[in-house]
């Protein structure tokens, strides 16, 4: 079966293991029996029509949504309802949201420094140093003392990426990171993510930017109606998708 063949090469310690995951919203099955393994250093692009469960899947991975059944293991820690497990996992998993979700009352620098200081217990000087280094990496260090509302959408999203990186996560989750951006700002954010990918960061990215998917993804996972329909390496997937649903989807987004 397609799914079996393309699961990444046997890795004794995958970064993320998702097994038989089920998530319901009321009577709606957002995810039904989803299985996914993400190896260390692997870059996965999740795509699919809206409502297919891709966002729900990555939101389950750091327990922003609680799953109803199945298992999620992140870097060896199984996500249960125990609050310390959840917070431990979350601090190892970086997440970037569609709508940035920066803290508007904190400066760019404070946005980055807060969690390292309060969750990791870093000294202020150390947190400052780390934040500035990562803001430089996303090329926004000259705006460090501004507030989110004073930045453009693209700049805000790059700050959000830096903020997530400040926790030195083992994996980064991107939930449609460019969907809320004006077209001219999409590129600067994608470039930042590409650089991150080149540094070897493990990532799962929900996106419809197919050019980006081709460039960075090791594997494209196509979801529809709450399950994984097809997965494969990007060149195969985009050239010759196996399933009708994937073909129909690609026809709609590639003109």
Residues contributing to the site for other proteins (CB under 8 A): 49-50, 62-64, 83, 87-88, 90-91, 93-95, 97-105, 114-115, 118-119, 146-150, 153, 160, 163-164, 167, 179-182, 208, 252-253
Distance CA 231, CA 254 (A): 18
Residue 164, CA distances (Å) to 29, 111, 214 in order:
30, 10, 24
8 A C-beta contact, residue 189 and residue 96:
no
Least distance in angstroms from the C-beta of 16 to other proteins: 15
Please report how close the Cβ of residue 1 comes to other proteins at its closest, in angstroms: 28
Q: How far apart are CA 151 and CA 71, in angstroms?
A: 39
Cβ at position 56, least distance to other proteins in Å: 13
> Which of 33, 23, 21, 30 shows the shortest CA–CA distance to 73?
21
Strand order in the sheet with 171-175: 93-96, 171-175, 202-206, 43-47, 219-224, 227-232
Instruction: Report in angstroms how near the CB of residue 146 gets to other proteins at its nearest.
Output: 7
CB of 227 to other proteins, least distance (A): 19
Nearer to other proteins, 208 or 219 (CB): 208
Instruction: Please count the other Cβ atoms lying within 10 Å of the Cβ belonging to residue 12.
Output: 4
Q: Is the CB of 158 or the CB of 208 nearer to other proteins?
A: 208
CB of 198 to other proteins, least distance (A): 24
Strands (E), the chain: 16-25, 28-38, 43-47, 69-74, 77-78, 93-96, 171-175, 202-206, 219-224, 227-232
Query: Toward other proteins, which CB reaches closer, 12 or 183?
Result: 183
Closer residue to other proteins, CB minimum distance, 20 or 66:
66
Nearer to other proteins, 47 or 217 (CB): 47
The CB-of-113 to other proteins minimum distance in angstroms stands at: 11
Q: What is the DSSP letter of 232?
A: E
Which CB, 148 or 226, lies closer to other proteins?
A: 148
- What 3-state class would DSSP assign to 152? coil
Q: How far apart are CA 218 and CA 117, in angstroms?
A: 34
Closest CB to other proteins among 20 and 118?
118
């Amino acid at each position: 079966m397609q799914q079996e063949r393309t699961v990444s090469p046997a890795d004794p310690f995958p970064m993320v293991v998702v097994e038989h995951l089920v998530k319901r919203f009321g009577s709606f099955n957002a995810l039904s029996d989803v299985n996914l393994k993400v190896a260390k250093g692997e870059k996965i692009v999740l795509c699919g029509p809206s409502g297919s469960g891709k966002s729900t899947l990555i939101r389950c991975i750091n327990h922003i949504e609680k799953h109803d059944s199945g298992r999620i293991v992140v870097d060896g820690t199984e996500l249960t309802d125990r609050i310390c497990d959840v917070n431990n996992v979350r601090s190892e998993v970086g997440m970037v949201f569609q709508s940035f979700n920066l803290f508007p009352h904190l400066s760019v620098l404070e946005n980055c420094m807060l969690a390292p200081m309060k969750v990791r217990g870093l000294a202020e000087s150390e947190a400052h140093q780390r934040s500035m280094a990562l803001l430089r990496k996303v090329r926004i260090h000259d705006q460090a003392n501004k507030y989110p509302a004073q930045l453009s959408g693209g700049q805000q999203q790059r700050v959000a990426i830096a903020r997530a990186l400040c926790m030195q996560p083992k994996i980064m989750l991107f939930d449609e990171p460019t969907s809320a951006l004006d077209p001219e700002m999409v590129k600067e954010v994608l470039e930042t993510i590409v650089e991150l990918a080149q540094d070897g960061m493990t990532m799962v990215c929900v996106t419809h930017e197919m050019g980006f998917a081709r460039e960075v993804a090791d594997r494209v996972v196509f979801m529809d109606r709450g399950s994984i329909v097809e997965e494969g390496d990007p060149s195969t997937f985009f050239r010759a998708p196996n399933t009708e649903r994937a073909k129909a989807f690609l026809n709609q987004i590639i003109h």
